[in-house]
């Protein structure tokens, strides 16, 4: 009987995905429920055919080049900035991600953050639990309306469009900016209006970030951008932490350049800039954009399916992020 392909899984996933992986592979699983160290991944990858990793794992050239048998890197995330895709591509190793399945879940959280920061939900909850509520008051915990306001979406991919759909129920004017303007027919279908980044920042009451992280979006929102925003504006980030310059954000909050922010991601995760923790006009949650049972289970299954496609079926995975490797193969 032929040996099953060997796969390293850097951290436990929902059981449905684990069960599929164990059926098809000789699976080596991180014995501890914590981030596997870079050195441990480098040592354990040596004889593996496949790697199933998380966004918290740094899969750099050192690891990839230390895995002579490696045939696929399956990332348990939509983003893949944790992986040296260029090195993987040079080695003709497909890199896969888990798009689509977490779109609606992340959009749900985005709108939860909009409402929470606008209506001071976290602050009000702490106020009541501390025994400070003495009865209704005309100016107690005054926040901002969401209904009828202007939402600016930076990055109009799957999640950005899902957020725009939710905004329709709040009768919001929705602006978007992206690398290219969409055709007028799609803009009408989505009921959105295109703006440059500068125009969006100056008009929007709520600014929601949904761009990938790369060299063009690192610190996309910094001192200059905060000065463009309304003093009444709120910033929401469920994309990637380094898109926002956190020190500039703190200055903007303390100087009254914006009213508040809600963050699911941070510039130096898992570390959070200390001053953010004490800022009253913030809502901070620990990278839970896709944290529903349904979404995380679908992601785990998708990771398994990507591995099966390459290591069992010898086919092209559906969610490959470097498809050019197959063109290289066919031309070589």
The pLDDT tens digits for 12-66 are: 999 999 999 999 999 999 988 899 999 999 999 999 999 999 999 999 999 999 9
List 120, 240, 257, 267, catalytic entry: 240
Cβ atoms within 10 Å of 286's Cβ, excluding its own: 12
pLDDT > 90? residue 331: no
Alpha-carbon torsion 124, 130, 136, 141, what sign?
negative
Give the CATH number of domain 6-101+293-331.
Answer: 3.40.50.720
The pLDDT tens digits for 86-99 are: 999 999 999 999 99
24 is catalytic: no
Closest CA to 16 of 286, 297, 212: 297
The single residue listed with the structure tokens 């606008």 is 118
Distance CA 262, CA 233 (A): 11
Say what the pLDDT of residue 328 is. 57
CATH architecture of 103-284: 3-Layer(aba) Sandwich (3.40)
187 is catalytic: no
Residue 6: both structure tokens together: 């060997």
247 is catalytic: no
Domain locations along the chain: 6-101+293-331, 103-284
Torsion on CA atoms 126, 296, 76, 316, rounded to nearest 10: -150
> What is the share, in percent, of the chain residues with pLDDT greater than 90?
94
For the beta sheet containing 50-54, the strands, ordered from the edge strand earlier in sequence to the opposite edge, are 26-29, 6-9, 50-54, 72-76, 95-96
Residue 85: both structure tokens together: 């895709």
Closest CA to 308 of 29, 50, 33, 128: 50
Flag whether the pTM goes above 0.85: yes
List 16, 187, 223, 269, catalytic entry: 269
The pLDDT tens digits for 118-160 are: 999 999 999 999 999 999 999 999 999 999 999 999 999 999 9
The pLDDT tens digits for 167-215 are: 999 999 999 999 999 999 999 999 999 999 999 999 999 999 999 999 9
The pLDDT tens digits for 221-263 are: 999 999 999 999 999 999 999 999 999 999 999 999 999 999 9
């Amino acid at each position: 009987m032929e040996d099953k392909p060997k796969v390293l899984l850097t951290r436990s996933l929902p059981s449905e995905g684990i069960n599929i992986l164990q059926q098809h592979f000789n699976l080596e699983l991180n014995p501890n429920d914590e981030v596997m160290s870079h050195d441990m991944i480098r040592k354990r990858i040596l004889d593996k055919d496949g790697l199933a990793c998380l966004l918290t794992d740094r899969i750099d050239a050192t690891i990839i080049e230390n895995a002579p048998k490696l045939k696929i890197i399956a990332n348990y995330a939509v983003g893949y900035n944790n992986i040296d895709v260029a090195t993987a591509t040079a080695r003709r190793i497909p890199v896969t991600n888990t798009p689509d399945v977490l779109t609606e879940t992340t959009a749900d959280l985005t709108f939860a953050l909009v409402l929470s920061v606008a209506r001071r939900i976290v602050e009000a909850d702490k106020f009541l639990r501390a025994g400070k509520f003495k009865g209704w008051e005309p100016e107690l915990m005054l926040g901002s309306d969401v209904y009828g306001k202007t939402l600016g979406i930076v990055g109009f991919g799957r999640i950005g469009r899902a957020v725009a759909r939710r905004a329709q129920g709040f009768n919001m004017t929705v602006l978007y900016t992206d690398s290219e303007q969409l055709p007028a027919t799609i803009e009408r279908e989505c009921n959105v209006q295109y703006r440059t980044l500068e125009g969006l920042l100056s008009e929007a009451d709520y600014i929601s970030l949904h761009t990938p992280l790369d060299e063009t979006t690192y610190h996309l929102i910094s001192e200059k951008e905060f000065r463009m925003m309304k003093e009444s504006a709120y910033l929401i980030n469920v994309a990637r932490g380094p898109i926002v310059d956190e020190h500039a954000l703190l200055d903007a909050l303390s100087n009254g350049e914006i009213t508040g922010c809600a963050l699911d991601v941070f510039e130096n995760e898992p570390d959070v800039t200390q001053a953010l923790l004490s800022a009253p006009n913030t809502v901070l949650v620990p990278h839970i954009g896709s944290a529903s049972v349904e979404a995380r289970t679908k992601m785990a299954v998708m990771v398994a399916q990507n591995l099966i496609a390459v290591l069992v079926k010898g086919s092209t995975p559906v969610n490959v992020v470097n498809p050019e490797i197959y063109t290289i193969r066919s031309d070589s």
